[in-house]
Amino acid sequence: MQLIDGKTLSKKVQNFVHAEVEILKTEKNIVPGLAVVIVGDDPASHAYVSMKEKACKAVGFYSITHKMPNTISQDEIIEIIIMMNNNPHIHGILVQLPLPKHIDTNKILEVIDPKKDVDGFHAYNVGRMVTNLDSFVSCTPLGVMKMFEEYDISLEGKDIVVVGASNIVGKPMASLLINANATVTVAHIYTKDLARHTREADIVIVGVGVPHLIQADMIKEGAVVIDIGINRLDDGSLVGDVDFDAVRPKCSYITPVPGGAGPMTIAMLLENTLKSAKQFGERS
């Protein structure tokens, strides 16, 4: 069993991005800029955003965060996004999800300029990704693909089960895997017998927010298990969706939580923002 060390790989990506930022500054006088929009006071969302801010600072990006109260209207959020769309110092715009119930998330995401959509949530980028064209790709699935690449885990012809069908993780994950010639099953809350699918899989990728959902008897001997879940238990500890200690001995590779897919998500946000800044530099 080999542990997939997302923390170390994310550091490697951060170092690469940092070096590229220096080159971009020197050669083109461009400082990659990221704008983050966060609405409300959800502590987990604020924790994610502060990690993103910290990572931006560490690689030399310019970053601004718009913190807005729960009471803000949809039109006011749209106004801020339009301002960021028109700001030449900003190359990436990220709206932290989930948004409060009175806000139509799809409407908000569609206002973001697709050229600055470093989260890859805009329908334009989703469509391009599905058709295997160059696009911004959602950071968590992109980070998982990076881990496969780093650890030489081949995908072609593999039976892969993705557990979770969200727009930001499960669906883009499945598309990327199909584009890599895997045979993909997407399981979700209505799946009749989850274990029947996972037991047959060469690779299981799970991100649903249910602690210990994936047990040892659901995993084939030698399988690769990627845990995207992150759950805080009552005792304050962080666990994924996989019963790590029980599943670990059966795997060829497994990601820990924390220290697996989580740090890779932030690393991919940095890569996407760098990519956007470079593309703006080429257009000007």
Binding interface with ligand GUN (CB under 6 A): 94-97, 119, 139-140, 168, 265
Give the N- to C-terminal CA distance of the chain in Å, as an integer: 49
- Say if CB 219 and CB 184 are below 8 A apart: no
**DSSP at 98:** P
Residue 171 CB neighbour total at 10 angstroms: 19
Active-site residue identified among 96, 117, 227, 241: 96
- Say if CB 264 and CB 6 are below 8 A apart: yes
Q: How far is the CB of 18 from ligand GUN (least distance, A)?
A: 21
Active-site residue identified among 14, 52, 115, 117: 52
Of the pair 115, 158, the CB lying nearest ligand GUN is at 115
- What CA–CA distance (Å, rounded) separates 61 from 131? 31
Only one residue has tokens 């923390």, namely: 7
Of the pair 28, 46, the CB lying nearest ligand GUN is at 46
Q: How far is the CB of 51 from ligand GUN (least distance, A)?
A: 11
- Determine whether 162 is exposed, middle or buried from the number of CB atoms within 10 Å of its CB (0-12, 13-18, 19+): buried
- Say if CB 4 and CB 253 are below 8 A apart: yes
Q: Is 119 a catalytic residue?
A: yes
Of the pair 9, 218, the CB lying nearest ligand GUN is at 9
- Say if CB 259 and CB 240 are below 8 A apart: no
Q: How far is the CB of 120 from ligand GUN (least distance, A)?
A: 9
Q: Is 96 a catalytic residue?
A: yes
Q: How far is the CB of 172 from ligand GUN (least distance, A)?
A: 10
Active-site residue identified among 119, 202, 227, 241: 119
Of the pair 121, 148, the CB lying nearest ligand GUN is at 121
Q: Which residues are catalytic?
A: 52, 96, 119
